[in-house]
Homo-oligomer: A and B are copies of this chain.
Amino acid sequence: MNFKDNLTQKTTETEAVIKAYLPAEEGYQKTVLEAMNYSFLVGGKRLRPLLMKESFALFGGEGDLCNPFMAAIEMIHTYSLVHDDLPEMDNDELRRGMPTTHVKYGVDMAVLAGDGLLNYAFETALQAFDVAGEKEFSRVVHAMKVLARKAGVYGMIGGQTLDVEAEKKGIGLGLPEVSFIDEHKTAALLQASLMIGAILAGAGEEEVHAMETIGYNVGVAFQIQDDILDITSSTEVLGKPVGSDEKNSKVTYVSLMGMEAAEEKQKSLSDEAVTLLRGLGKEASFMEELILSLVHRKM
């Protein structure tokens, strides 16, 4: 099977796994449950749970232990978009061509739906204890800790904080700040995905650390590619307006380093990720292609 067909099939499988964990839309709290599921089902590439499952398989993981965490990481990703889209944050009214949660359900319900998704992510991940064998118990604890850390103030929320301050309060950013935002806002959940898959499969400390580094490289390279495409692509190819970073005076790797150096940085991050992945000595050709498709994407 070629990469593209393989990706389509794996994404479909991932979608089925994570959807099974959504709450039933019933009871007096029906509206918040509907808003949560709506936000979740608007879609996306399901990249984080897919990477988690691939990492789990890479290290010999079998069975369902990973499944609750796959759903949980996507719930966390989803809640972050719901709150990010709020009027007082990015004030986005459309996501993937559909009304954002607060447009459809009201701002109050969008706040609660985001809270609900974050909380439900932990409820869902905790289900892994029910399917864990005795020797897997401490792996689940470790995975829970990574999930919470990478999603929180020392992970994604930390990156969002600086991003919000930078955009709204006009703090002059340099390379350390831009790196911090990309590492935390973009890379942290990718790191969590790759690490949790490895941890649950019983990978050793060094292997988990390698996955963390790969997640960092892929996340930052992905973000630099975003910045590059905003300049070099066209609105037709990208499917969204180009030139928005310059228009919004957004500080990026490209604005700070220049195009050539940003491209070099992007390439070296991506090369290092592939080298690390190959160094694990596993059959990882699909994950390698997936990583390269992410960091070299044209849209």
A148–B123 contact, CB under 8 A? yes
Quote the shortest CB–CB distance from A272 to chain B (angstroms).
24
A126 with B153, Cβ < 8 A, contacts A29-B158, A112-B160, A165-B31 known: no
A164–B89 contact, CB under 8 A? no
B115–A157 contact, CB under 8 A? yes
B158–A145 contact, CB under 8 A? no
Nearest B residue (CB) for A167: B108
> A86 near B: Cβ within 8 Å?
yes
Scan A2-29; emit 1 where CB is below 8 A from any B CB, else 0.
0000000000000000000001000111
B153–A28 contact, CB under 8 A? no
A107–B88 contact, CB under 8 A? yes
A108–B88 contact, CB under 8 A? yes
Q: How many copies does the complex hold?
A: 2
> A137 near B: Cβ within 8 Å?
yes
Which positions 168-219 of chain A face chain B at CB distance < 8 Å? 168, 177, 180, 184
A119 with B118, Cβ < 8 A, contacts A31-B161, A83-B111, A126-B144 known: yes
A29–B149 contact, CB under 8 A? no
A29 with B157, Cβ < 8 A, contacts A89-B111, A108-B89 known: yes
> A262 near B: Cβ within 8 Å?
no
> A151 near B: Cβ within 8 Å?
yes
B164–A120 contact, CB under 8 A? no
Contact of A119 among B27, B88, B120, B151 (CB under 8 A): B151
A180 contacts across to B, CB distance below 8 A: 28
> A152 near B: Cβ within 8 Å?
yes
A161 with B111, Cβ < 8 A, contacts A118-B119, A129-B141, A153-B29 known: no
> A68 near B: Cβ within 8 Å?
no
List, sorted by A's number, 22 A–B pairs whose CB atoms are closer than 8 Å: A28-B177, A29-B153, A29-B159, A29-B162, A31-B161, A36-B153, A79-B115, A83-B115, A86-B111, A88-B106, A88-B107, A106-B168, A108-B168, A109-B164, A111-B111, A115-B115, A118-B119, A122-B122, A123-B148, A123-B149, A126-B144, A126-B145
Query: What 19 new A-B contacts, CB under 8 Å, besides A29-B159, A36-B153, A112-B160?
Result: A29-B154, A29-B157, A29-B158, A29-B161, A31-B161, A32-B157, A79-B115, A83-B111, A106-B168, A112-B157, A112-B161, A112-B164, A114-B115, A116-B153, A116-B157, A119-B151, A120-B153, A122-B148, A123-B149
